[in-house]
């Protein structure tokens, strides 16, 4: 693909994804409020976009990877934004996790400008993005999916076309509901095991050998909170934001989700105690601090069997 690709949002996930695109030979024009992040991409051969409007005028595919609805809608809908400045036929591929109803609104507005929207939120963790091993849940027309698929293949190893526009984001909410809830459940279980005085590695081996095993406990926890590393791959703040979206979407769809509401409030409590910027696996440490229990830790170098 020889046309330029715009990439707006070079945070913890966006920066490695853009870097992988550039390393695979895609011509990028990038933008972020963090100038250091922009400079890192420029060092790889990307071009720094002077403004969002300039990127929109220069690129026929514009990717956004931003924190919330507010940023995505500001970038897309403002007078200096994508829809006001891009040519008809431009594709906006939003990879953020936002309210699916906002995606629906963006798609409708794009249509009024002769443009289209693809929603392609990201699965897996930041370290997977670093290695180009992300998973993507894509909502798009067949034609748009075929157009953006080479870009997704440059950034990840698993690509699922979930259906038309909006299905990617809705699938992501289902996924993140399970992932964040498992963090909460694992944190509570490990706190209980600590209170019981159980050996942490034997407890984990038992859990890994039964139907209680789960991806968070096996893949994320041993490399993060259980190793004493709560530096953010995916923060408690972002997990709380996603659970807010889940609860709101469930209310709109009239689906009772009492567990989601309880987990949302637990993460609210963690944020109120100023743990919002640590990794979401760190909810285990938060629970232990509240209960005044020693934090669960595995020996250095320990790996699941």
The catalytic residue positions are 172
The neighbouring-strand residues paired with 137 are: 160
Residue 93 · residue 64 · CB < 8 Å = yes
Q: Which of 64, 49, 66, 63 is nearest to 5 (CA)?
A: 63
Is the Cα torsion angle 265, 139, 120, 30 positive or negative in sign? negative
The neighbouring-strand residues paired with 236 are: none
Tell me the residue length of the chain. 305
Q: What separation in angstroms does the CA of 177 have from each of 84, 98, 161, 219?
A: 35, 13, 20, 17
For residue 37, give both structure tokens: 């992040």
Residue found by looking up tokens 């897309």 in the block: 76
Identify the three-state secondary structure at position 90: coil
Any idea what DSSP says for residue 218? I
- Phi-psi domain of 274 (left: phi exceeds 0; alpha: psi -120 through 50; beta: other): left
The neighbouring-strand residues paired with 159 are: 136
Any idea what DSSP says for residue 113? T
Contacts of 5 (CB under 8 A, 6+ apart): 21, 26, 27, 28, 29, 59, 61, 62, 63, 151
Contacts of 295 (CB under 8 A, 6+ apart): 194, 225, 284, 285, 288, 289
């Amino acid at each position: 693909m020889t046309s330029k690709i715009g990439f707006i949002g070079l945070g913890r996930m966006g920066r490695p994804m853009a870097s992988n695109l550039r390393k695979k030979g895609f011509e990028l024009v990038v933008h972020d409020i963090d100038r250091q992040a922009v400079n890192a991409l420029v060092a790889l051969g990307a071009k720094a976009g002077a403004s969002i409007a300039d990127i929109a005028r220069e690129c026929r595919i514009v990717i956004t990877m931003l924190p919330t609805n507010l940023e995505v809608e500001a970038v897309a809908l403002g007078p200096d934004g994508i829809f006001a400045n891009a040519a008809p036929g431009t594709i906006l591929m939003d990879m953020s996790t936002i309210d699916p109803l906002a995606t629906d609104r963006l798609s409708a507005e794009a249509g009024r400008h002769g443009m289209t929207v693809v929603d392609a939120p990201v699965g897996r963790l930041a370290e997977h993005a670093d290695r180009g091993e992300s998973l993507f849940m894509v909502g798009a027309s067949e034609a748009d999916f075929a157009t953006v698929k080479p870009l997704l293949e440059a950034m990840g190893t698993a690509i699922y076309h979930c259906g038309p526009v909006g299905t990617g984001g809705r699938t992501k909410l289902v996924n993140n509901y399970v992932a964040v809830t498992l963090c909460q459940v694992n944190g509570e279980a490990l706190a209980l095991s600590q209170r019981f005085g159980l050996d942490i590695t034997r407890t984990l081996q038992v859990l890994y050998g039964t139907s209680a095993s789960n991806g968070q406990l096996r893949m994320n926890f041993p490399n993060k909170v259980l190793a004493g590393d709560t530096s953010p791959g995916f923060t408690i703040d972002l997990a709380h934001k996603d659970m807010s979206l889940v609860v709101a979407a469930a209310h709109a769809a009239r689906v009772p989700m009492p567990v989601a509401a309880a987990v949302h409030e637990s993460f609210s409590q963690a944020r109120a105690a100023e743990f919002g910027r640590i990794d979401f696996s760190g909810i285990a440490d938060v629970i232990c601090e509240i209960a005044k229990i020693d934090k669960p830790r595995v020996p250095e170098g320990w790996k699941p069997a």
